[in-house]
Amino acid sequence: MLENLTAQPADKILALMAKFKTDPRSDKIDLGVGVYKDASGTTPVMRAVKEAERRILADQSTKAYTGLAGDPAFGAAMRDLVLADSVPTERVAAVATPGGTGAIRQALELIKLAAPKATIWLSNPTWPNHPSIVKYLGMPMAEYRYFDQVTRGVDFAGMLTDLETVAAGDVVLLHGCCHNPTGANLTYDQMSQVIGIMQKKGAVPLVDIAYQGFGDGLEKDAQITRLIARSFENCLIAASCSKNFGVYRERTGILMAVAKDPDQQALTQQTLAFLNRQNYSFPPDHGARVVTTILTDPDLRADWEDELEETRKTMLVLRQQLADELKRLTNSDRFDFLADHRGMFSRLGTTPELVEKLREDHGIYMVGDSRMNIAGLNAETVPILAKAIVSAGI
């Protein structure tokens, strides 16, 4: 049987991560996978996470199953964090999932059941695992323009033109904040226009929000998602806790589905639980319990928010330093977009050949499409990167 297998395409981000590990150079710089690192290159366990884990270890009296949707307290805490009061609680169905990827996967499976012919519209570019999963599930897929190669901002006119061609019932995947891989984001007003087109066309939004708190702050980063949630009868939201709680390996995420009314919510909730059962039964609990403990305890929550803010500001400082250094070296403002981008990533907007040159000549690893993880930098490596960018002729 197994001889019939053919090799599957390697995930570009994970392949790069493996390549970095085997590079013997001691001065190599990892700007690949989206994992936050502090100035010493460590991905720390957040203080509030440590404390929540300590409490769980001390107090947890059972490891019995929770429910197919996960612990309802996690659902409620995440609904508040992401959606606040944008939609009535009784319209929101939710299931815990293994990370944000699990949430995306379950969202697509739900769409497959509810609207098997719907085309899934993805931004060009998007996180490579989006098209990979859509393709794997055999769902129709299309792209809308997103990145402006010249300004390194959003190609908003192109995006609107392409969204004018979506059909009724199609699903448009939007990034809630901190667009991955570009770092270029829509303003609130621009998103209002996108929503207007989608409403006119009868399209359904699927929001991927994996970096809430990494862009302009916890509340501001959720604004677009909340606007979308209250603008449509139906909408799907895949949220990840991997980055903002730093619980990457615990696989903590949630899929929320906004239904038209409580009856539709009940049917959706039942379907989501069914889908969890088919795929992995009960979702992982530990990370979700840590997140719930933090979000529901005022002191832990305040500490978590503080540390998240420190993390966000660190990335903003690094962005500004890199933009300034490049301005100094090139005597031009063509890299100013780095300071305007938000979140963990920025797309430099150069060729795969020059990305490879950076890797070979300087040991600087970024994804082939020139996505850099800004959090992989520190005050010492910013000038090294800037110099390498200039000497590579980017």
- The upper half-sphere exposure of residue 205, i.e. CA atoms within 13 Å in the direction of its Cβ, equals 30
Alpha-carbon distance 274 to 10, whole Å? Answer: 30
State in angstroms the smallest separation of the CB of 90 from ligand LMR. 32
> C-alpha dihedral over 296, 297, 301, 303, to 10 degrees?
-170
Buried b (16+ CB within 10 A) or exposed e, 180-217: bbbbbbbeeeebeebbebbeebebbbbbbbbbbbbbbb
Which regions of the chain does DSSP assign to beta strands (E)? Answer: 29-30, 92-97, 120-124, 141-145, 171-175, 204-209, 235-240, 253-258, 345-347, 364-365, 371-373
User: Cβ closer to ligand LMR: 91 or 347?
Assistant: 347
Buried b (16+ CB within 10 A) or exposed e, 63-98: eeebebbbbebbbbbbbebbbeebbeeebbbbbbbb
User: Cβ closer to ligand LMR: 104 or 224?
Assistant: 104
Contact 242, 210 (CB under 8 A): yes
User: Cβ closer to ligand LMR: 119 or 129?
Assistant: 129
Phi, psi (rounded to 5 degrees) for 356: -70, -35
- Which residues have a catalytic role annotated? 127, 208, 210, 243
State in angstroms the smallest separation of the CB of 193 from ligand LMR. 27
First to last CA, the chain: 48
Contact 239, 77 (CB under 8 A): no
Which residue from 13, 194, 218, 323 is in contact with ligand LMR, where contact means CB under 6 A? 13
State in angstroms the smallest separation of the CB of 34 from ligand LMR. 3
- Cis amide linkage into residue 181, ω under 30° from 0: yes
State in angstroms the smallest separation of the CB of 33 from ligand LMR. 4
User: Cβ closer to ligand LMR: 70 or 128?
Assistant: 128
CB contact set of 313 (below 8 Å; sequence gap of 6+): none
User: Cβ closer to ligand LMR: 283 or 376?
Assistant: 376
What residues numbered 66-95 form the site for ligand LMR, per CB under 6 A?
Answer: none
User: Cβ closer to ligand LMR: 211 or 335?
Assistant: 211
Size of the site for ligand LMR (CB under 6 A): 6
- Cis amide linkage into residue 125, ω under 30° from 0: yes
State in angstroms the smallest separation of the CB of 99 from ligand LMR. 8
Phi, psi (rounded to 5 degrees) for 227: -60, -45
* 20 is a site residue for ligand LMR (CB under 6 A): no
What residues numbered 109-148 form the site for ligand LMR, per CB under 6 A?
Answer: 127, 129
State in angstroms the smallest separation of the CB of 255 from ligand LMR. 16
State in angstroms the smallest separation of the CB of 319 from ligand LMR. 17
Q: How far is CA 3 from each of CA 9, 10, 136, 201, rounded to the nearest angstrom?
A: 17, 19, 20, 47
Residue with the shortest CB distance to ligand LMR? 34
Alpha-carbon distance 88 to 94, whole Å? Answer: 13
Alpha-carbon distance 317 to 247, whole Å? Answer: 24
User: Cβ closer to ligand LMR: 69 or 255?
Assistant: 255
Which residue from 15, 33, 160, 390 is in contact with ligand LMR, where contact means CB under 6 A? 33
User: Cβ closer to ligand LMR: 34 or 287?
Assistant: 34
* 34 is a site residue for ligand LMR (CB under 6 A): yes
State in angstroms the smallest separation of the CB of 180 from ligand LMR. 5
Which residue from 97, 180, 311, 321 is in contact with ligand LMR, where contact means CB under 6 A? 180
Positions touching ligand LMR (CB under 6 A) are 13, 33-34, 127, 129, 180
